[in-house]
Amino acid sequence: MLDALEIFVPVGGLLFGLVLVAFGLVLLLVAAFRVSPGWALACLAVPFAAPVFVALHWPAARRPFFLQAAGFALFLLAAALTPDWALPTG
């Protein structure tokens, strides 16, 4: 019989990690709009504009960056804890 924690903890970690990354992205876009609408549009449309914005406007982008990093780390940890039998076999 399957232990519920074997599935729900990794899946919950994956979902919560994705939510943190998405929320961090929204906060990063808000910070970019506060600096300039051009930065926000660039972060949405231009590849690698967001890391450039973070580097150039670190005080405004620090919290969204760390929120995204924490979400990504949680996602990776949950992916590592996912049992092999729960993964799809292509």
- Structure confidence by residue, pLDDT tens digits, 13-58: 899 999 999 999 999 999 999 999 999 999 999 989 999 999 999 9
State residue 86's pLDDT score: 58
**pLDDT at residue number 10:** 80
Per-residue confidence band for 90, with pLDDT thresholds at 50, 70 and 90: low
Q: HSE (CB half, 13 Å, CA atoms) of 62?
A: 3
Looking at the whole model, is its pTM more than 0.75?
A: yes
CB 71 within 8 A of CB 18: yes
